[in-house]
Chain A
Amino acid sequence: MEENVKYILAILTSFFVMTGAAMADYRLVVPSPKGTGTAIWADVIAAELEKYLGERVIVENIKGGKGNVGLETFNSKYKDDPKTILLAHGGNANAWLIEDVNWSFKDWEPVLVQPYNITTTVASDFDWQNERLDLADCSGCVPETLAWTMIKGWDNINFVRKMSAGDAKQAWLRGDFNYIREPASRHIKNTVPMVDEGNALRLFNHGMFTPENGFVQDYNWPDTPTAVELYKQTYGKEPKGPVYEAYILSAVWRDGLQKGLFMHPGANTAEVIDAFERMIANDESRAYLISKLGDYPMYFGKDSEIIMDSLYSYVTKERLRYLVDFAANNMEWSTATYVEGKTID
């Protein structure tokens, strides 16, 4: 028995040696499992980036805690590794605002930031102004929940819990749901044909985030109003109040930081930024990235710092309090916690 145990231990030790020996040249930590939109973004970027870095970029998908395990792992385990890059997404950005997490964007240096825009579509036979709206409680859907609350009022919304974005997509396709929210790439693939056939109406998006002017009209969808414009069209006045303020904070962070790469201070940040700049300057690479990831600008180095500074400027005590209160009271998130130190004032 003892011999058998020793034998098993020897084999298991070899495993741990194996895991330690499997060191990548560069490591891209992705806090989402394979198969998700973020993971696909990471795979595309990593494969292209290694051509310009001249070294391998191994993607390490870390599942768990709605992304928190990956972010915590980057924050602690890879703190002193100069070649580890983190990919954070808009959902992580909202978690940072709403929850008490063990990591902070403020501790890291931005390498690249890519704003995105999420499109909201409704069934053409759905009277969105008067009928009750079923809304999924998915973790990345906070800005849509706030936008709809701003437009329709919370009392006219049926908030369906334990429903992921994937579940909501299925419900939309089966006709159980009257609305869907999706990033541009999926919207083009799945929903534009429905809009063209008259079966669906592209109702609003959030706009394209810019550091200078906040949300502006998305040139990809020139005929689609932003949520704020839709409110103005509907009510003939500017939106204001706690829900609007919470919406602005949540939306600029979710879409402004839809995809962000970060490294620890002292890491090989300059080398990675240089590789990205050469990558984007190459027409072939740029066309490939647009075809795979959509036509949204990528900000590197100093520009990404400007974007992050702009995002931080939105985090006022008042807005953060409104957002956390909405998550705690309306969405009933037990994890919603107001944390000092995130705000600018």
Chain B
Amino acid sequence: MIELFIIVLAGVLYGLVFGVIPTAGPTTALLVSYSFIPFFYSEPYLGVAFYTAVIAACTTGDTWSSILLGIPGSSSSAATVLDGYPLAKKGKATYALSAAFTSSTINGLFFGGLVFLLMPLYGKLLLIFGIPELLMLNILALSAVIFLVKGRIILGIVSVLIGFILGYVGIDENNAPRLTFGTEYLKDGIPIIILASGLFAVPELFEMFMGETRLQKLDNSWKQIQLGVLAWKKYWRVSMRGGLIGAFVGAIPGVHGVVADWLAYTQTQASYPKRKFSVGNIAGVVGPEGANNAVHAASFVPTVVFGIPGTPFAAVILSIFFLLQFDLGSVSIQSDTSFYKYLATGFLGGTVLVGLFCVLLSKPITVLLKIPAKIYAPLILVLITWACYQISHTYYDIATLAVCSAIGLLSKRFELNRPAMLLAFILFSKIEALTIQTVSLYNMFSLMERPIFIILLFLTLTIAFAGVKYVRK
């Protein structure tokens, strides 16, 4: 028990550092942690608790830089910047942080508790989800990508196409190489870890390294902390609605957390149509922060039950848990009650601990934000490179990271949609393999006899239709 507490604590401290570092977020934290996965080989369940605690801590910790620096701690806390940073500029940083942590922690516990409590039941669904149903589920996830590209349809389509091309790398159904440039290395496809690093971590670190940041002052008075908690109490409805949106979006495989963040912000705006937002409205902090932890908790559902990562960090956790001998999405994991226990303990325990730390350790945490980006950005870059090098221990890993980083930097420069690109990459190979399997094993008549397949087909069409309407709006 003490060992578990220490591990969760370690995960929280580690995750908090990466949460506080601007733009780092849970994906970077997990990527960097690859080097010490072997530490958990003998105690893999502790590894589960550690990594879920890391995610919980990052999710809450990323609010710091959003509010104090005006830079998203991670992509899923971007909406918090809109009202959080103006509040900090008015000298109400602690007030904003307190409201954000309260909203984030309470919803993390409530929706997280609900998700982990019900997750073993979701597992039973797996047995009625055959190959055609899994195919439809992946197509459903792909259709939901449309919500990520609002206002930038052409850029969104280009991003998805690039994702497909990257997913095409490997071998075809006859073992013939595709876009492998004559290398054996690429026959297994581009490693997700390397692509995620190149698309997300490296461009953000590069921007931090080249740019300048201004830290807002933090007044650590109890009064501001109390006012923040009271603000949550006043706006608990928008917080809960944000949580509901987060839990729903997170549970749909293939939908990035950033969607929940912005949807939560939009519903908050809609709740108070006469008020101004983006000028320092505390409701604009409470709403999206309510979605933040809920979406991360719920994104464990498709990842654990179906092996379908809903977010970039979930793709990394899928790989890490596989190294720890937990085959997410498999039938065997559904009956592993210890796995669920440690998963819930890590996330819920981590949420409580990080909430306490954020209030009690606010001064030392702000010191972290004062470290110049020129010091930490190269250091994190080295750690990420080292983590990627662990895949094959050859310089192919480094070369692939360099190419993926170039794609990431160019995508950022030309405002391509990187979450959509990564999700298209992940879903391409799954949809391709499942389509070939479905066509081999079923015909149109036998598919029409499968009610879940029909329901998912209907849902996919509905989401695609709603998505088109949403994008046009």
Contacts and interface: CB of A to CB of B under 8 A. Distances in A.
B174 A333 contact: yes
A85 to B, nearest CB: 15
A72 B184 contact: yes
A342 to B, nearest CB: 19
B436 A4 contact: no
B433 interface: yes
A35 B184 CA distance: 21
Contacts of B158: none
A169 B333 CA distance: 13
B437 A34 contact: no
A170 B176 CA distance: 25
B161 interface: no
Contact of B382 (A11, A161, A162): A11
A73 B188 contact: no
A69 B441 contact: no
Nearest to B209: A4
B113 interface: no
Contacts of B392: 62-64, 69-70, 73
Interface string B170-207: 00111110000001111110010000000000000000
Given A62-B394, A69-B392, A334-B176, A160 B437 contact: yes
B440 A158 contact: yes
Contacts of B91: none
A50 B396 CA distance: 29
B433 A163 contact: yes
Interface string A60-87: 1111111011101100010000000000
B379 interface: yes
| Most central of B127, B173, B209, B386 by chain A CB within 10 Å | B173
Interface string A1-40: 0001001100110110011000000000000011100001
Contacts of A77: 394
Contacts of A33: 323, 391
B374 interface: yes
Contacts of A66: 187-188
Contacts of B394: 62, 64, 69, 73, 77
A69 B185 contact: yes
Interface stretch (B288-296, B324-332, B351-359): B324-332
B450 to A, nearest CB: 11
B233 interface: no
A327 B223 CA distance: 75
Contacts of A176: 130-131, 441
B184 A69 contact: yes
Nearest to A19: B389
Contacts of A335: 175-176
Nearest to B378: A11
B174 to A, nearest CB: 5
Contacts of B173: 137, 161-162
A188 interface: no
Contacts of B378: 7-8, 11
Contacts of B222: none
A40 B329 CA distance: 20
A259 to B, nearest CB: 18
Interface string B366-392: 000000001000110110011001011
A15 B385 contact: yes
Given A161-B173, A161-B440, A333-B174, A64 B396 contact: yes
Contacts of B381: 8, 11-12
Nearest to A335: B175
B207 to A, nearest CB: 12
Nearest to A31: B392
Contacts of A7: 374, 378
Contacts of B188: 63-66
A334 B173 CA distance: 9
| Most central of B332, B381, B437 by chain A CB within 10 Å | B437
A182 interface: no
Nearest to A334: B176
A66 B186 CA distance: 10
A256 to B, nearest CB: 24
Interface in A159-181: 159-163, 166-167, 169-171, 173-176
B41 interface: yes
Contacts of B41: 43
A64 to B, nearest CB: 4
Interface in B312-335: 322-325, 327, 329-332
A173 B210 CA distance: 52
Interface in B20-50: 37, 41
Nearest to A35: B322
A332 interface: yes
A159 B437 CA distance: 10
Contacts of B172: 334
B393 interface: yes
Nearest to A134: B441
27 contacts: A4-B374, A11-B382, A12-B382, A12-B385, A43-B41, A61-B393, A62-B392, A62-B393, A62-B394, A63-B188, A63-B191, A64-B184, A64-B185, A64-B391, A68-B187, A70-B392, A73-B393, A134-B440, A161-B436, A163-B433, A166-B330, A167-B433, A170-B329, A173-B127, A334-B174, A334-B175, A335-B175
Sorted from nearest, which 4 A-B pairs have the closest CB atoms?
A65-B184, A161-B173, A334-B176, A11-B378
Given A34-B323, A70-B392, A137-B173, 13 more contacts: A33-B323, A62-B393, A62-B394, A64-B184, A134-B441, A161-B173, A161-B436, A161-B440, A162-B432, A162-B433, A162-B437, A163-B436, A166-B330
